[in-house]
Amino acid sequence: MNTDRQPSSVTYTTHGLLTQTRPLQTTVAFIGGGNMATSLISGLVADGHDPHRILVSDTEHEKLANLSARFGVRSVSSNLEAVTHADALILAVKPQVLRAVCEEIQPIIQKHRPLVISIAAGVREIYLQQWLGHSVALVRTMPNTPAMLQAGATVLHADRNMVSSQQRDTAESIMRSVGLTCWVETEALLDAATALSGSGPAYFFLVMEAMQQAGMKLGLDSGIAHLLTIQTALGAARMAMESTESPATLREKVTSRGGTTETALRIFADGGLVALFSKALTGARDRSAELSRMLGEANE
């Protein structure tokens, strides 16, 4: 995994997240103006991207009107018009409708040849290329839900023979507007990333849920247990993000011999927590690959 390709325009925010500070001089068009597109538009505009260089197309007129009113972006009346003006085109529709959208825009894609970025979960590059007419500069990405707060983690993959380094930088800059980005060298690793960062927010919610319940069992008021849990999660995440030390070292540093943390960690170890995480992520990775296969077969 390549995580060290960071352009000079990158900085850390107070939340310790990487953001891009130099606005892109690129016209970015979205097909689909739903949740994920809204997050990306919000992030791009917050990063200083000119809203007039952001175009959105959607089947619902009301959604487009809301996006224009909220962010000043331009709504277009058709997917074809979106492609015509795009330097970078983001496919932000649900996987189930992606084939129809790609086949609709194929002639214009082949004529204008924009960079195409897919955020659709599980739709493989081989199908996207087939539906778009082949030889397309295509980047496949896997964002996660904290993108809504510009605190996402997005994993990207591109075939180096199809996508120039400048186009990779463009894709990276766009996705970085909603949080951290990193590249993987093989498309199959997107399934691993889905298991880690795609599904990951739910694992942390589960841990928070369990900690809150355990705190309540020990007599803490539910509101206090809730606040202590989420603030501790946030504090630990910020320490891990902003420190140069690994989580393992940070953990060791807060674990005094014979103390309370050591007792709790030993009980976690006796319960096989680390192995359980590995098993759970392997299951999620395999399921991601299986869903991807099924989605491909359903579209054949």
Ligand X SMILES: NC(=O)c1ccc[n+]([C@@H]2O[C@H](COP(=O)([O-])OP(=O)(O)OC[C@H]3O[C@@H](n4cnc5c(N)ncnc54)[C@H](OP(=O)(O)O)[C@@H]3O)[C@@H](O)[C@H]2O)c1
Residues 250-269 that bind ligand X (CB under 6 A): none
Q: Which is nearer to ligand X, 188 or 250 (CB)?
A: 188
Q: Does 90 bind ligand X (CB under 6 A)?
A: no
Pick from 17, 55, 83, 120 the residue near ligand X by CB under 6 A.
120
Nearest residue by C-beta to ligand X?
34
In angstroms, rounded to a whole number, what is the distance separating the alpha carbons of residues 208 and 173? 32
Looking at 45, 64, 92, 295, which residue binds ligand X (CB under 6 A)? Answer: 92
Q: Take residue 220 and report the two structure tokens written for it.
A: 């803490």
Site for ligand X in 25-84 (CB under 6 A): 31-37, 57-60, 63, 79
Q: Compute how many other C-beta atoms are within 10 angstroms of the C-beta atom of residue 248.
A: 8
* Residue from 24, 41, 55, 101 in contact with ligand X (CB under 6 A): 101
Residue of 128, 136, 139, 143 that binds ligand X (CB under 6 A): 143
* Binding window for ligand X (CB under 6 A); candidates: 90-98, 181-189, 212-220, 227-235: 90-98
Minimal distance in Å, beta carbon 105 to ligand X?
Answer: 9
Quick one: which segment of 119-127, 130-138, 170-178, 211-219 binds ligand X (CB under 6 A)? 119-127
Contacts of 267 (CB under 8 A, 6+ apart): none
**Nearest by Cα to 133 from 162, 166, 158, 160:** 162
The answer to whether 193 and 140 have CB atoms below 8 angstroms apart is no
Size of residue set near ligand X by CB under 6 A:
25
Residue 179's DSSP bridge partners are 152
174 binds ligand X (CB under 6 A): no
User: What whole-number distance in Å separates Cα of residue 159 and Cα of residue 137?
Assistant: 8
Least Å distance, CB 92 to ligand X, is 5
Strands 152-158 and 138-142: antiparallel
What is the closest distance, in whole angstroms, from the C-beta atom of residue 75 to ligand X in the complex?
11
Return the number of the residue (75 or 212) whose C-beta is nearest ligand X: 75
Taking the complex as a whole, how short is the minimal distance between the CB of residue 96 and ligand X, in angstroms? 9
By CB under 6 A, tell whether 145 contacts ligand X: yes
Q: Within 10 Å of residue 12's Cβ, how many Cβ atoms?
A: 11
222 belongs to the binding site for ligand X (CB under 6 A): no
Going from the C-alpha of 185 to that of each of 3, 10, 142, the distances in angstroms are 11, 22, 14
Q: Which is nearer to ligand X, 212 or 288 (CB)?
A: 288
Residues in contact with 203: Cβ distance below 8 Å, sequence separation at least 6, in sequence order? 277, 280
Residue nearer to ligand X on the CB measure, 92 or 115: 92
CB of 99 to ligand X, least distance (A): 10
Q: Which stretch binds ligand X (CB under 6 A): 9-17, 116-124, 162-170, 207-215?
A: 116-124
Residue from 24, 76, 95, 105 binding ligand X (CB under 6 A): 95
By CB under 6 A, name the binding residues for ligand X: 31-37, 57-60, 63, 79, 92-95, 97, 101, 119-121, 143-145
